[in-house]
Amino acid sequence: MLNRSTMTMTNPFRPKSRHRHKGRSNAKFWDFAKNFFKRAKEKGIFALRLSLIRDALRAFNWRQSGRDWRNTRRIIQDFNRSITLIADIDALIPSIVDRVKEIFGTDRVILLHAYPDSSVFSLAFSLGYDPEILAGVHLTQRDRLAKWLLTNETALVVEKDQGVMSYLSADEREMLERLDARVCVPMLALNRLTGMMLLSSTQKEWSMGEEDLNLLLMLLTQAGIAFESAYLSQFQRDRMRRLYRAERLATVGQLAASVAHEIRNPMTAIRSTVQYLMREFDDNNPKRELAQGVIAEVDRIDRIVDGLLSLTRRTEFTPNKISLAQLLGQTLLLIRTQAQEQAIEVMWKDPPQETHVMADAAQLKQLVLNLVMNAMQAMPNGGRLQIDLNVSSQALGSPRQKDWAVISIADTGCGIPPETLDMVFDPFFTTKPGGTGLGLSTCYAIAKQHNGDLEISSQENEGTTVNVRLPLAG
C-alpha cells in the first residue's frame, strides 16, 4: 500500500493542513450560492468576479518566473476578461481552453467538469484528440484521482509523480496513458472539486515547469469559481422561466374557467337551433351546406374552450408504475401508417433495460402522441423522426439531485425561428394554419402534473428536439 508521504504534494498557494476529509456537500454548495448572490447583489456579479481574480493575482509571486511577463500579462488579462464577461458556461469553457493553449503552448487539452448536482466528471471540452480516443472518458468523485486532487489541491505531473500513479486504479492509469496525459490540474471552488484539466502535446519535448504549474493552478481556481457562478446564474434563469410559464398557464386557466360557462351556453343553443333548421333542407339544398359549416365552427369553438379548461382542470389522476418503453411502442403504432404515407422514417429501438415511472398512462400517451404529431406536421415532405429513451441524473428546479427518465423526440423538419422559440408554450400561440395553439401548453401541463418538465431546442430549417423529463419510479 502506498504511504501517505508518497501520496501528498505541497500546494503552492495554501498549506495542505486543512481539508483532509472534504467530500462533496450539497448543503455547503447552496450556502455558498446564497452568500454568492448576496455579495453579487451588493457589488454586481461582474465586479465580484473581478475582485476574486484580483485577489488571486496579488497572491501570485510574479518575480519567481523568467517568463516574458509583458506578453503573459496581456494573455492573463484576456483570460480574466473571459471570466468576467461571459456568463454562458457553454461559451466560457472553450474560451478558457483557448487561453490555456496560448499561454502554455499545449495543443492537447481535455476538460472534465461536474455540475454541483452531479458526482460524475464528464467530458466538457477537448482539443487535439480524435473522438474514438475520447470514448468512455469520465471519472467520479469516488475515483482515486479525484480524491487525490481534492486532498492535495495541486497538479499531478504524470512523469514525475510515479508514486501517485501507482496509487491510482488500473482503469484510471489506462485512461491517462491512452490520452497521453502529462499533467492533471484540479479546478476547485468552495473546497469542492468542480473539474479537472488534462494537458498533453504532440511534441514530445513539451512539459510544464513549477512556475507554469503555479500559474495554471491560479487560473483554473478562478475558472472553477466562474463555472460555479455561471451555473448558478443559468439555474436561476431556468427557474424564473419555469415560474413565469406556470404563471401564464394559471392565468389562462382562470380566464377560461370564468368564461367557459358563458361561452358554452349560447354555443349549445346555436348548435341545437341550426340542427333543428337543417331538417327543412334536403341534401341538394345549398343552405344545408352552410348550416353544416356553422355546426362545424361551433364544434371547433367548443374544442378550444375544452382545451383551455384542460390546462387547469383537475382531471382524475391515477398514477401507476408503467414501462415507458412499452408505452412509447404502443403510441408509435398509432402513427405508423401516417408516417409511411408522409415518407417519414421512424427510428425507435427498445432500450436494453426497463425504465419505469409513476404516471397516468392515458395522459402520458396523450402527451407523447401530441409531440409526435407535431413533429410529423413539421415534415410534410418526409424526413426522419428519432425517439430515444434515456436515464439521467440532475437537479431540476431544486438543489437536490434526482434520477430522471428522458424521452427525446427529434425531427428533421422546418424548425422553429429563435425569436418565437420562447413563445411556443404560450396558449393560443401557433404557426400552423388552423391550429389552436393549445397542444404544447397541454403537454407542458401534463408533464408538470407528473412532477416532470418539458424543454424544446430547435434550429430553423434543421429540426426540433423535445425532451420530456419524468422522475423514475422508486
pLDDT in tens, 424-443: 777 666 666 655 566 787 88
What pLDDT, on the 0 to 100 scale, is given for residue 165? 92
What span, in angstroms and rounded, lies between the C-alpha atoms of 428 and 446?
Answer: 17
CB 295 within 8 A of CB 271: yes
Q: How many CA atoms lie within 13 A of 322 on its CB side?
A: 20
Task: Specify whether the CB–CB gap between 404 and 472 falls below 8 A.
Answer: yes
Question: pLDDT value at position 41?
Answer: 53
Strand partners, 189: 192
Can you read off the three cell numbers belonging to residue 345? 422514417
Helix (H, G, I), strand (E, B) or coil at 149: helix
Give Rg (Cα) of the chain.
Answer: 29
The model's pTM: 0.51
153: left (phi over 0), alpha (psi -120 to 50) or beta: left
CA 110/CA 198 separation, integer angstroms: 5
Beta-bridged to residue 454, according to DSSP, are: 468
Judge contact between 185 and 155, C-beta under 8 A. Answer: yes
Helix axes 361-377, 439-449, angle to 10 degrees: 150
Give residue-wise pLDDT tens across range 396-405.
544 445 688 9
CB 183 within 8 A of CB 158: yes
Alpha-carbon span 111 to 90, nearest angstrom: 12
Q: Residue 308's pLDDT is what?
A: 63
Q: Per the structure block, which three cell numbers stand in for 325?
A: 418503453
pLDDT score for 59: 45
pLDDT at 52: 54
**Which domains are assigned to the chain?**
21-238 (3.30.450.40), 316-474 (3.30.565.10)
Of 96, 86, 93, 95, whose CA–CA distance to 115 is shortest?
A: 93
- The rounded distance, in Å, linking the Cα atoms of 389 and 409 is 9
Per-residue pLDDT of the chain (474 residues; tens, 9 = 90+): 334 333 444 433 343 443 444 444 455 555 555 565 555 555 555 555 555 555 544 444 443 444 555 666 776 777 777 677 777 777 888 888 888 888 888 999 999 988 776 788 888 899 999 988 998 898 988 999 999 999 998 999 999 999 999 999 999 999 999 999 999 999 988 778 889 999 999 998 898 988 888 888 888 888 888 887 777 777 777 777 767 766 766 666 666 666 666 777 788 888 888 888 888 888 888 888 888 888 888 888 877 777 666 655 555 677 889 999 999 988 888 888 889 889 999 999 888 778 899 998 888 988 998 899 889 988 988 999 999 998 886 655 444 456 889 999 999 998 888 888 777 777 666 666 655 566 787 888 888 888 888 888 888 888 999 999 999 886
Residues forming a β-bridge with 138: 122
Residues 23, 46: Cα–Cα separation, whole Å: 29
